[in-house]
Amino acid sequence: MLNLTDVHVSYGTTPILHDIDITVDSEEIVGIMGKNGVGKTTLIKAVMGLLEVDTGTITFDGDDVTSTGADVRARRGMGYIPQGRDVFPELTVEENLRMGETIHAADNSLQYEAVYDYFPILTERRTQTAGTLSGGQQQLLAIGRALIGNPKLLVLDEPSEGVQPSIVQDITRDLQRVNEELETTIIFVEQNLHVVQHLAERCYAIDKGMIVDELGSDRLDSREAVTEYLAV
Ligand SMILES: Nc1ncnc2c1ncn2[C@@H]1O[C@H](COP(=O)(O)OP(=O)(O)OP(=O)(O)O)[C@@H](O)[C@H]1O
């Protein structure tokens, strides 16, 4: 579904990512964990086409998308939930979801009402402005808005950030349900132990802009193996 091969990314003349090789298979849930400032957001932006790569290739769903812009990647089936979520705070929940419908006016779009079936809390809040929702509810709204495009791949940048620990567990379960029922492939970056251990089926560790390890389910079960790469 997604392959990064020997990807290098810089900000201006400052190299940030080096020799990145990542593979995500169809319907997998793959995590990328790492401490603050190691390059997680840079990596996600390169996947989404929001940052150009210096060298290397990115293929998605069988096509080389290395030189394509973010709009093309979104139309081909990448759904993005950025760090901080980027919901429209002055618009209601429903208006935010309908905005997703406007952006993804494709025949295969989910209707916004379908999102309410997945996240009933949003039904209760449908007339409330997004800025007054809790962090966790905003995260669900951002996920719901991305789902309207019926993405093949959901790309999340730190979904637990600013979300209460008890709600982080709910979001983890909701994402698993989306993966199972909508057959959506998921890649996420995180530094939250619970999300890494309970959501990822497989996880890469990133440090100083390089992939330094890959953990399968056995090692993900070990708190020690995981915390080596997190600031906990
Ligand atoms: N626009 C930018 N211009 C120059 N350097 C940047 C820019 N954005 C990030 N950096 C630098 O790139 C490095 C990687 O940052 P990035 O945001 O990708 O890390 P991160 O792992 O996502 O961090 P965090 O967990 O704090 O969000 C950091 O040293 C950061 O200071």
Q: Give the strand order in the sheet containing 78-81.
A: 78-81, 153-157, 185-190, 29-33, 202-207, 210-215
Whole-number Å distance, alpha carbon 40 to ligand 1 midpoint, is 8
pLDDT value at position 207?
Answer: 95
Pick the residue whose CA is nearest to atom 5 on ligand 1: 11
Q: Is the pLDDT of residue 230 over 70?
A: yes
pLDDT value at position 232?
Answer: 62
Q: Is the pLDDT of residue 128 over 60?
A: yes
Q: Domain spans of the chain?
A: 2-85+154-227
- Counting atoms of ligand 1 from 1, which one is nearest the CA of 189? 22
Pick the residue whose CA is nearest to atom 31 on ligand 1: 37
Whole-number Å distance, alpha carbon 168 to ligand 1 midpoint, is 24
ipTM score: 0.94
Domain 2-85+154-227 has CATH 3.30.1960.10: no
Mutation test residue for ligand 1: of 9, 10, 16, the one with most atoms within 8 Å of CB: 16
- Residues 80 and 44: their CA atoms lie apart, in Å, by 9
- Residue whose tokens read 């760090």: 83
Pick the residue whose CA is nearest to atom 18 on ligand 1: 39
Pick the residue whose CA is nearest to atom 20 on ligand 1: 37
Residues 33 and 203 sit within 8 Å (Cβ to Cβ): yes
